[in-house]
Structure 1
Amino acid sequence: MRIVSLVPSQTELLHDLGLEDQIVGITKFCVHPYHYKSVKTMVGGTKQIKIEKIKALNPDIILCNKEENTKEIVEACQDICEVHVSELYTIEDTLKLISYYGERFNKRTNAEAINEKIKYKLQDFKKFIADKPKIKVAYFIWRKPWMVAAKNTFIDYMLTLNRFENIYGNLERYPEVDITKIQQEGDPEIVMLSSEPYPFKDEHAFEIGRVAHNPKTIFVDGELFSWYGSRLLKAFDYFKLLRERI
C-alpha cells in the first residue's frame, strides 16, 4: 500500500501507527516527524499540489481532509487512485478516523492502543478542568485580514473542552473580524494568538491591545488546538500547563 498524505496531522498519525515505509508522498507542511522532509517526496502544500509528482509516485491511496484540501484537489486526486477525505470536528471523530486507518492499513492493534491512550488522557483532563472557571477568549489564526476560529471547527471544540468561552462562537468557521469592535463583540479576558498558520509576533499582540479592554494576550501552540490524530496525546498536558499560566 503506497500512501500519499495531504494532511499534516494525518501524516503524523500514519507514522505513529507504524506506516512510515508505506508513506511515499507528503506536503511541505507535514513537519512531524521532522526527518520526513528529507526522506519523503514533497508534493506541494495543502491548498496547491503538484499533481504530476503525485502521479509519478504511483500511490494506492491519497488521504485528504475536507478543511485542509480543496474540492478541486480531491477531484484531481480521484483521477489517480482511491481518495479518502476525512471530516473531523470532535475528538470522537478523531477516534473513529484512527480506527478506520487501523482497519484500512492493517494496523488495528496500534490504532486501538493510540485510541485507548487518548481516551485515558481525555478523561483525566475532564476531571482536571471540571472545577475551573469559564474564561472568555478570542482565538486568532490570521492577520490582514484578522481572522478567528468560530463554531463548527475543531479549534472551537477544543476551546469548549478547556472551558474557554469563544466570543466569536456565534459566527461560522473562520470569519474575518474587525478588531476595533472586539469590546462590543464579546470583550475577551484572554486573546489567543495561534502559532499557525500565521506567524504572530509581539507587535500584533500590542495591536490588539490598543483596541481591546486590557485582555491578557498569549501565544498558543496551534498544533495542539487544531491537529487531530496522535498529536492529541500531547495536547492535554499542554492544556493543563496553559491553565496554570493564565
Structure 2
Amino acid sequence: MKTVKDQIGREITLKSTPKRIVSLVPSQTELLYDLALENELIGITKFCIHPYHLKSVKTVIGGTKKVDYEKIKALKPDFILCNKEENAYDMLPELEKIAPTYFSDVNTIQQAVDLILRLGSLLNRRTEADNLAHKIEFKLNDFKQFIADKPTRKVAYFIWAKPWMVAGNDTFINEMLELNKFENIYANMSRYPKVEINKIRHEGDPEVLFLSSEPFPFKDEHAMEIASFTNRSITVFADGEMFSWPGSRMLLAFDYFKELHKKLESHF
C-alpha cells in the first residue's frame, strides 16, 4: 500500500504497482510505451496515435473529453492516467469509482521531466525513466547551444479557427516557443484565448504565424485569411505534437526545431 500525490496535488493510494493501466492522454500513452509498459497498458483513447499499432491491440475507450465508463470498468484497470489540459476534470468522480486516477499537469519542460520520473517510480520503471530523462536533458542542452545566436522573432501560434484560438501563457506550447526564441504576441493572455484576427497587427504584428496540426485541421484558406491582417508574416503549418506533447516526443522535438529554424532562415 502506497500513498502518493499527483501533479495537481491530489493524494492517490495504490495497493501495489499498477499492472493494468488505462491512459486517456495521447502523449502519455506514447510515454508509457517508451517506458516499456506496453503489456501493462490495456486501454487508450482514439487520439492515441503513437505508436501506431496500439490501436489494433488495445481497447479504445473513447476520446479525451468523453469516454465510455462501462468500457473502462470492464477492463478492470488498477491505474488511470489523465491530464489537466487534455481531460475534463468533471470526469474524475466517475473515474475514481473505477480505479486510482492520476492527473498530470505539465506546462514546462521541467514538469514534463518530473512526470517521467514520477511515473517511472510509480510503475517500477525507474531505470527506463532515468535514461529517458537524461536523453532529454542532453538534447535540450544541445538545442540551447544551437539556438543561442538565433534572433528573436515575434510569432502567433493558432490552435483553432472560427472561433480563432491561440496558445497563450501558462501552456507547454508557450514554453516551447520561448525555448525557440519565438516571442509569443499573446503571451500576455492566459491558456488558450479567443482572439480577433483583424486586430493581430495591433496585438503585435507577428513575423511568423504558426498553424498547429492539432487539434484543428488548418487549410490554406485559413492561412491566407489570417495573413491578410498582418504586414509581413510567414505562415508555417507546424507539427503540433512537437510543440505540445510533453514526454518522450521531446526527443524528436529538438531536432524538428533545428530544421524549422533552418527553413525560417531562408525566408528572412
TM range (shorter): over 0.9
Counterpart CA distance in 2 for 1:195 and 1:217 is 13
Corresponding position of 1:163:
181
Q: Which amino acid aligns with 2:33?
A: H
> How many residues of Structure 1 are paired with residues of Structure 2 in the alignment?
246
Please point out which of 245, 248, 257 is paired with 1:239: 257
Counterpart CA distance in 2 for 1:194 and 1:75 is 32
Cα displacement string for residues 137-169 of structure 1 (whole angstroms, at most 9, x for unaligned residues): 000000010000000000001000000000000
Cα displacement string for residues 100-147 of structure 1 (whole angstroms, at most 9, x for unaligned residues): 111111111111110000000000000010111100000000001000
Corresponding position of 2:58:
40
Tell whether 2:195 aligns with 1:177.
Answer: yes
Gaps of 5+ in 1: none
Corresponding position of 1:103:
121
SS in 2 for 1:79: helix
Q: Which amino acid aligns with 2:192?
A: Y
SS in 2 for 1:197: coil
Shift of 1:20: 0.3
Tell whether 2:145 aligns with 1:127.
Answer: yes
Counterpart CA distance in 2 for 1:128 and 1:231 is 19
Please point out which of 17, 20, 31 is paired with 1:2: 20
Corresponding position of 1:16:
34
Aligned-residue RMSD, C-alpha = 0.6
Q: Which amino acid aligns with 1:29?
A: F
Please point out which of 190, 215, 220 is paired with 2:233: 215
Matches within 5 A, 1:1-150: 1-150=19-168
Q: Which amino acid aligns with 2:34?
A: D
Counterpart CA distance in 1 for 2:117 and 2:151 is 34
Native 8 Å contact 1:64 1:74 kept in 2: no
Counterpart CA distance in 2 for 1:75 and 1:236 is 37
Moved more, 202-211 or 79-88: 202-211
SS in 2 for 1:56: helix
Counterpart CA distance in 2 for 1:29 and 1:100 is 24
Cα displacement string for residues 77-100 of structure 1 (whole angstroms, at most 9, x for unaligned residues): 011110100001111111111111
Shift of 1:16: 0.3
Counterpart CA distance in 1 for 2:164 and 2:47 is 22
Native 8 Å contact 1:196 1:223 kept in 2: yes
Q: Which amino acid aligns with 2:94?
A: A
Show structure 1 runs of 4+ deviating over 3 A: none
Please point out which of 199, 207, 213 is paired with 1:195: 213
SS in 2 for 1:230: coil
Corresponding position of 2:3:
none
Counterpart CA distance in 2 for 1:71 and 1:118 is 29
TM-score relative to the length of structure 1: 0.99
Corresponding position of 2:5:
none
Shift of 1:214: 2.7
Native 8 Å contact 1:149 1:168 kept in 2: yes
TM-score relative to the length of structure 2: 0.91
SS in 1 for 2:98: coil
Native 8 Å contact 1:59 1:81 kept in 2: yes
